[in-house]
Amino acid sequence: MDKHLETLCVQAGYSPKNGEPRILPIYQSTTFKYESSEEMGQLFDLEASGYFYTRLQNPTNDAVAARIAALEGGVAAMLTSSGQAANFFAVFNICQAGDHFISASAIYGGTLNLFSTTMKKMGIEVTFISPDCTEEELNAAFRENTKCVFGETLSNPSLAVLDIEKFAKAAHSHGVPLIVDNTFPTPINLRPFEFGADIVTHSTTKYMDGHASAVGGAIIDSGNFDWSAHAEKFACLTEPDESYHGIRYAEKFGKAAYITKATSQMMRDLGSIQSPQNAFLLNLGLETLALRMAQHCKNAQKIAEWLESNDKIAWVNYPGLPGNKYHALAQKYMPSGTCGVISFGVKSGRDGAMAFMDHLQLAAIVTHVADARTCVLHPASTTHRQLTDEQLAAAGVPGDMIRLSVGIENADDLIADLEQALAHA
């Protein structure tokens, strides 16, 4: 990396030339004008690069994607309308009916539903495996038709830390890429490509936007996975695409093949583009990402320690606590901090949790995390309510769990709020 993350947050992706706007403009235009049909035709054939329709590409979105690619240390990136769309495209770009993939079981509820229900209907089968599995168990999950491995670097909401090197090694020894959702740590705290992940996804809705203002997602490719070396598995990238006059993505676009296919084929046909207006808001969020992550982590550490010492609290889960199951992995992969999310249970159980949450004044009850403002949620009755008890256990979401997303307020004010609300628990 030639520049530090703080610099990339404000400078990467957009460099205005003489007399151009200092701030990334919003290209609020569905379409782009050309002098000749011939020029336009070249764009449709992917023979020339340029903008023609915002469903495929837009200059505002591309600048923001380039900033995120720089932060992650990838070669190419694209924005999507949501984190859900990012994870769906990331897998569906290389999996089709009849294929199989492996996913860590400790993942976001929406992603779990997407994989286990909706993609199953599309003929794509998933095997869930505990992130704490042994190498033998992981290797045993692979099949002839396995096309990728998926996991969350720091899972929402169970805060399991993925052993990226273990998962990458298994994926690579079976000739498939490792895709990781890096939403919670963000590239400020963890850059998964440095540990062998091949593709990174984000719900930019969370810390990247950081202000709870715009839903969005991103996919970033390291450019490291060699599709041609496993050509029979990844015919979708190595064989001709008849919908583009027989283009072979891997041959024509090299390291940019995966993102080019996702943009020109997935986005063309499925159309989950991020609006340029939302990309602009995301970009503003990215400018302060490094500052905010440091404050989120500092506050969360202080609050996790305070909760742990409080006699009304049954348990606290935060990887920054020395007694945490994932402390050692967190130290290895996220030495400067994990994220602002803590989960805990109150001794008075589910009813006590509800009473406590209802009495909070600063921390708001919202279906959100990773906001500048502190918020709380009861996952078992909200984000994870579609899951069976068995799935809840596999996802690491007990019924009494409260998810606290610590914001960037002053930690002492937040502790005072928690303390007065706990009196009601």
Ligand X SMILES: *Cc1c(COP(=O)(O)O)cnc(C)c1O
Question: Quick one: 181 or 371, whose CB is closer to ligand X?
Answer: 181
- Total residues contacting ligand X by CB under 6 A comes to 16
- What does the block give as tokens for 306? 């305070």
Under DSSP, is residue 168 helix (H, G, I), strand (E, B) or coil? helix
DSSP 195: G
What residues between 12 and 41 interact with ligand X by CB under 6 A? none
Minimum CB distance to ligand X, residue 374 (Å)? 17
Using CB under 6 A as the criterion, what x/- string covers residues 190-229 for binding ligand X?
A: -------------x-xx--------x-x------------
Return the HEC string of 214-275: CCCEEEEECCCCCHHHHCCCCHHHHCCEHHHCCECHHHHHHHHHHHHHHHHHHHHHHCCCCC
Q: Is 48 exposed, middle or buried (0-12, 13-18, 19+ CB in 10 A)?
A: exposed
Q: Which is nearer to ligand X, 83 or 177 (CB)?
A: 83
- Under rule CB under 6 A, residue 152 binds ligand X: yes
Tell me how far apart the alpha carbons of residues 368 and 211 are, in angstroms, rounded to a whole number.
Answer: 11
Phi, psi of 373 (to 5 degrees): -95, 140
Question: Please, what is the minimum distance in Å from the beta carbon of residue 395 to ligand X?
Answer: 12
58 binds ligand X (CB under 6 A): no
Pick from 110, 169, 268, 314 the residue near ligand X by CB under 6 A.
Answer: 110
The residue (of 346 and 397) whose beta carbon lies closer to ligand X is 397
Q: Dihedral of CA 247/251/253/257: which sign? A: positive
Look at residue 47 and give its three-state secondary structure: coil
From candidates 58, 84, 146, 299, binder to ligand X by CB under 6 A: 84
Binding window for ligand X (CB under 6 A); candidates: 82-90, 96-104, 259-267, 297-305: 82-90
- Shortest Cβ 154–ligand X spacing (Å): 8
Which residues here bind ligand X, judged by CB under 6 A? 82-84, 87, 108, 110-111, 152, 156, 181, 183, 203, 205-206, 215, 217
